[in-house]
Amino acid sequence: MNYNPYVNVQNVMEEARKTGGIDRRFFDVIKHPQRETKVYLPVEMDDGEVRVFEGWRVQHSNIRGPFKGGIRFHQDCDLDEIRALSVWMSLKCAVVDIPFGGAKGGVRVNPSELSRRELERLTRRYTFAIEPLIGPDKDIPAPDVNTDAQTMAWVLDTYSMLNGRPCPGVVTGKPVELRGSRGRASATGKGVVISTKLILARSGLKLPDVSVTIQGFGNVGRYAAKAFHEQGAKVVAVSDISGVLYDADGLDIPSISEFAKTKAPLSTFNDGHAEHLSVGDIFAVPCDVFVPAALENQIDETTAAVLKCSYVIEAANGPTTEAGDRILAERGIQLVPDIFANSGGVIVSYFEWVQNIQELTWERDRVTDMLDDIMSRAFGEVLEEMARSSCSLRIAAYIVALKKLVYAEEIKGIFP
Ligand code: GLU
């Protein structure tokens, strides 16, 4: 069965609405995106052929601030996935209380099959297609799965060309040389580690007390592994689509990170210590903390039953299905939900945007300290809601976010 992430997020929102006693009237506004745009993108390939790619930009809500959210390139992208991701962005920005709404963009493409020049042409054509929708005070894209600072540099340049002036605030997660923020690339990974520290502290534990498994070694997984390793946690397994590296005594994360920079598959890494397992084995690795940092729907009824961990920290968006959630709860596995656990990226995107607007550049330590402050305060609010509503952390985070969104809708009223 194909599990639909948009149905997932709608169901969880509905459960949170009931649990949190949120009025149905304005909640229905938040259930649906404000605007969904589909684009067709003709691109001239290096061999002279023309291919037409499908893309989307879904703008869920701008009630709390400009639409905000990444752009992903993936062969399985579809409208319902982008819709779900746009809703999660609105919830994420609301739960940590930064002044953005939510949006998401995507192009259905397997970027590993395109040359760098082809990817640049595709990115510029996509930017041209959504140009009327985006802007520093309208909708601000950022990196997501298979996109990075280079992709943002192309978006920024195309948008600035079309507008006849430099517009650094139109994207976040851009290179520091183009007024990106220090600490943005590592921010989601760092936020995942902050989330882990916050949940462990409730049981009197610290990072050096735990072992960690990370599924996915992209923008998020790689930096999370680095931050876990630097702060004394033992990273025992990491994986990408090619396979799993495992060492019960702890992997050599600096070497693996260096190796992964070349984009070589982890299955070809060999340092004489790390054991190779097949991709699906990642779920059965014994550890304290399991970090899904890949795609949606990874922890379902089957994989939730085999996990050998005490905590799940959702670094990816939507990695757990509703059935997976139920099984984790039955097994007493504590979960920090995506809309909080991976919010570090968009929080530092917010800092980047603020620096761009004010024509300022902040030091890395300032960025890191402010990230820690925002997440710690928001976690406190979610814990209070959890106690008040006797619910899971996920439902508590949704209630905190939905209350802000629904209340904003209510006091604004419905136009016209
Ligand atoms: N793509 C990231 C996310 O899903 C970051 C979005 C942003 O910085 O706007 O949260």
Question: Do residue 102 and residue 201 come from a single domain?
Answer: no
pLDDT digits (tens, 9 = 90+) for 10-61: 999 999 999 999 999 999 999 999 999 999 999 999 999 999 999 999 999 9
Q: In this structure, how many other beta carbons lie within 10 angstroms of the beta carbon of residue 366? A: 12
172 alpha carbon to ligand 1 midpoint, in Å? 9
Instruction: Verify that 201 and 306 share a domain, yes or no.
Output: yes
**Do 64 and 198 share a domain, yes or no?**
no
11 in a structural domain = no
Residue 274 forms part of a structural domain: yes
Q: How far is the CA of 50 from the centre of ligand 1 (A)?
A: 31
The CATH number of residue 98's host domain is 3.40.50.10860
Q: Do 202 and 157 lie in a common domain?
A: no
Which residue has the least CA distance to atom 7 on ligand 1?
346
Q: How far is the CA of 270 from the centre of ligand 1 (A)?
A: 33
Claim to verify: residue 195 and residue 239 sit in the same structural domain: yes
Within a domain: residue 395? no
| Residue 114 Cα to ligand 1 middle (Å) | 24
Please state the rounded mean pLDDT for residues 345-352. 98
142 lines ligand 1 (CB under 6 A): yes
Give per-residue pLDDT as tens, 138-153.
999 999 999 999 999 9
Tell me which residues are annotated as active site: 104
Give pLDDT tens digits for 153-211. Answer: 999 999 999 999 999 999 999 999 999 999 999 999 999 999 999 999 999 999 999 99
Same domain, 160 and 227: no
Q: Is residue 367 part of a domain?
A: no
Specify the pLDDT at position 3.
85
- Mutate which of 85, 220, 343, 349 for ligand 1? The one with the most ligand atoms within 8 Å of its CB, which is 349
Check residue 198 and give its pLDDT. 98
Domain final residue pick, 96, 131, 166: 166
Residue 355 beta carbon below 6 angstroms from any ligand 1 atom? no
pLDDT attached to residue 263: 87
Q: How far is the CA of 54 from the centre of ligand 1 (A)?
A: 21
Looking at the structure, tell me whether residues 192 and 152 fall in a common domain. no
- pLDDT confidence of residue 79: 98
Give the residue numbers spanning the domain of 161: 35-166
**219 within some domain:** yes
Amino acid (one-letter) located at 387: A
* Number of separate domains in the chain: 2
Does the structure show a pLDDT above 60 at 1?
no
Q: What is the CATH number of the domain that holds 318?
A: 3.40.50.720
Pocket-testing residue among 346, 350, 351, 353, ligand 1, by greatest number of atoms within 8 A of Cβ: 346
Ligand 1 atom nearest the C-alpha of 144 is: 1
Encode pLDDT of 358-368 as tens digits.
999 999 999 99
The predicted-structure confidence for 243-302, as pLDDT tens digits, reads as follows 999 999 999 999 999 999 988 999 999 999 999 999 999 999 999 999 999 999 999 999
Question: Do 247 and 149 share a structural domain?
Answer: no
**Does 239 lie in the same domain as 290?**
yes
pTM, to two decimals: 0.98
Query: HEC states along the chain?
Result: CCCCHHHHHHHHHHHHHHHHCCCHHHHHHHHCCCEEEEEEEEEECCCCCEEEEEEEEEEEECCCCCEEEEEEEECCCCHHHHHHHHHHHHHHHHHCCCCCCEEEEEEECCHHHCCHHHHHHHHHHHHHHHCCCCECCCEEEEECCCCCHHHHHHHHHHHHHHHCCCCHHHCCCCCHHHCCCCCCCCHHHHHHHHHHHHHHHCCCCCHHHCEEEEECCCHHHHHHHHHHHHCCCEEEEEEECCEEEECCCCCCHHHHHHHHCCCCCHHHCCCCCCEEECHHHHHHCECCEEEECCCCCCECHHHHHHCECCEEECCCCCCECHHHHHHHHHCCCEEECHHHHCCHHHHHHHHHHHHHHHCCCCCHHHHHHHHHHHHHHHHHHHHHHHHHHCCCHHHHHHHHHHHHHHHHHHHHCCCC
Q: Domain boundary at 131, 166, 201, which?
A: 166
Please provide the average confidence, as pLDDT, over all residues in the chain.
Answer: 97
Cβ of 345 closer than 6 Å to ligand 1, yes or no, is yes
Domain boundary among 332, 359, 379: 332
pLDDT at site 140: 98
* Domain presence at residue 128: yes
pLDDT of residue 262: 87
Q: What is the pLDDT of residue 112?
A: 95
Residue 90 inside a domain? The answer is yes
Residue 353 within a domain: no
169 CB-contact burial (10 Å; exposed 0-12 / middle 13-18 / buried 19+): buried
Same domain, 42 and 144: yes
Considering the domain architecture, whether residues 317 and 209 belong to the same structural domain is answered as yes
